[in-house]
């Protein structure tokens, strides 16, 4: 179970979305309250516990989309999941736009009782960058306003996600500077920097978003002094050999095992046990020649 595709519609149309082009065209019937409850109950009956493959066996539930907050029964579903799984960490992945409505944000903050976190993607430091990636004019203003409301309300735990690909990598340091300026109390949220996945729309748009690790890790290195200013910053999908030594403790393994590979060079690497390896789809597009066995 761990990820429940909560809803198919979205008011963004992100160039690197991992959903396939057909996803948003589904009629959504299976996402209605009854269907979602049946899905979870089937899972719990058939073999729970609810856990993610990447959580080390710790129970966990992730609500994804589309854009979950657009679901017409969003609050009923939230109440059901929270009541049905007390104590299980739930993460909602969102574009953050609906939280620009303070009334909606307040209702969400009240319903999302801990342990609960919300992950919101920020695509850049300006409307010019963010809206071009999101494919929606006005998205940046709403997402930033949504982040401000969530922080002002003081809960649930907030994670700001920056996904690196060809259209965002150049503005990465500016995105970090923007966060420090706009939300200076950086201890109140976590920043997660993600090398994009090649799947769904990002595969369909690959010429527009293609980025090798050499490009994303150069951006990380250049931004190291800024990165150090965030008390909690994590890196997802980066092989350890692709980032400089100071950044390796920030790397996390969060992809299911079947989505990653360890090419021959990894056999000689002393970091393998702590390393995400290479994304399977990345190897198909770019090969594995960038990898270098580490000796620790
Ligand atoms: S060589 Fe392989 S195991 Fe070692 S750091 Fe690179 S990707 Fe990870």
* Cβ atoms of residues 59 and 47 within 8 Å: no
* Cβ atoms of residues 228 and 243 within 8 Å: no
Q: What pLDDT, in 10s, does the model give residues 282-293?
A: 999 999 999 999
- Tell which atom from ligand 1 comes closest to the C-alpha of 278: 7
**Number of Cα atoms under 13 Å in the Cβ half of residue 195:** 30
Residue 3: per-residue pLDDT: 67
- Tell which atom from ligand 1 comes closest to the C-alpha of 240: 5
Tell me, using a 6 A CB cutoff, whether residue 283 lines ligand 1.
no
Pocket test residue of 238, 272, 289 for ligand 1, highest count of atoms within 8 A of CB: 272
* Cβ atoms of residues 167 and 15 within 8 Å: yes
- Measured by CA distance, the residue closest to atom 3 of ligand 1 is 272
List CB contacts of 164: < 8 A, sequence separation 6 or more: 172, 193, 194, 195, 196, 211, 216, 219
- Measured by CA distance, the residue closest to atom 7 of ligand 1 is 277
Tell me, using a 6 A CB cutoff, whether residue 291 lines ligand 1.
yes
Q: Which residue has the tokens 């739930």?
A: 90
Of 291, 112, 155, the residue nearest 217 (C-alpha): 291
Output the tens digit of pLDDT for each of the chain's 296 residues.
456 777 778 999 999 999 887 777 777 666 777 777 777 777 777 655 454 444 455 677 888 878 999 998 999 989 998 998 888 899 999 999 999 999 999 999 999 999 999 999 999 999 999 999 999 999 999 999 999 999 999 989 999 999 999 999 999 999 999 999 999 999 999 999 999 999 999 999 999 999 999 999 999 999 999 999 999 999 999 999 999 999 999 999 989 899 999 999 999 999 999 999 999 999 999 999 999 999 87
* Cβ atoms of residues 216 and 259 within 8 Å: no
Q: Which residue has the tokens 């939300």?
A: 183
CA distance 128 to 111: 34
Residue 186: per-residue pLDDT: 98
* Cβ atoms of residues 90 and 82 within 8 Å: yes
Tell me, using a 6 A CB cutoff, whether residue 240 lines ligand 1.
yes
Full set of structural domains in the chain with CATH: 3-211 (3.20.20.70)
- Tell which atom from ligand 1 comes closest to the C-alpha of 266: 2
- The residue length of the chain stands at 296
CA distance 183 to 176: 10
Tell me, using a 6 A CB cutoff, whether residue 279 lines ligand 1.
no
- Tell which atom from ligand 1 comes closest to the C-alpha of 294: 4
Angle between helices 74-84 and 33-46 (to 10 degrees): 20
Of 143, 155, 161, 128, the residue nearest 97 (C-alpha): 143
């Amino acid at each position: 179970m761990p990820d429940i595709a909560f809803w198919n519609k979205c008011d963004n149309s992100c160039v690197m979305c991992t959903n396939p082009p057909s996803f948003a065209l589904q009629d959504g019937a299976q996402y209605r309250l009854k269907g979602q409850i049946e899905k979870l109950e089937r899972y719990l009956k058939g073999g729970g516990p609810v856990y993610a493959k990447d959580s080390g066996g710790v129970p966990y539930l992730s609500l994804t989309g589309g854009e979950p907050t657009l679901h017409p029964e969003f609050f009923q579903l939230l109440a059901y999941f929270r009541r049905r799984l007390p104590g299980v960490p739930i993460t909602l992945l969102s574009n953050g736009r609906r939280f620009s409505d303070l009334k909606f944000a307040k209702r969400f903050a009240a319903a999302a009782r801990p342990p609960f976190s919300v992950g919101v993607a920020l695509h850049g430091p300006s409307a010019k960058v963010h809206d071009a990636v999101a494919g929606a004019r006005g998205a940046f203003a709403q997402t930033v306003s949504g982040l401000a409301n969530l922080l002002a309300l003081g809960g649930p735990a907030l994670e700001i996600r920056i996904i690196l690909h060809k259209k965002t990598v150049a503005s990465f340091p500016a995105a970090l500077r923007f966060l420090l300026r706009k939300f200076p109390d950086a201890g109140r949220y976590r920043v997660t920097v993600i090398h994009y996945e090649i799947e769904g729309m990002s595969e369909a748009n690959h010429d527009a978003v293609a980025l090798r690790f050499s490009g994303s890790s150069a951006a990380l290195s250049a931004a190291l002094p800024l990165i150090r200013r965030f008390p909690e910053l994590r890196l997802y999908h980066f092989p350890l050999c692709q980032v400089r030594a100071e950044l390796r403790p920030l790397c996390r393994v969060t992809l299911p095992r079947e989505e990653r590979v360890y090419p021959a060079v990894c056999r000689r690497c002393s970091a393998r046990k702590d390393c995400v390896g290479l994304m399977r789809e990345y190897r198909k597009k770019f090969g594995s020649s960038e990898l270098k066995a580490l000796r620790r």
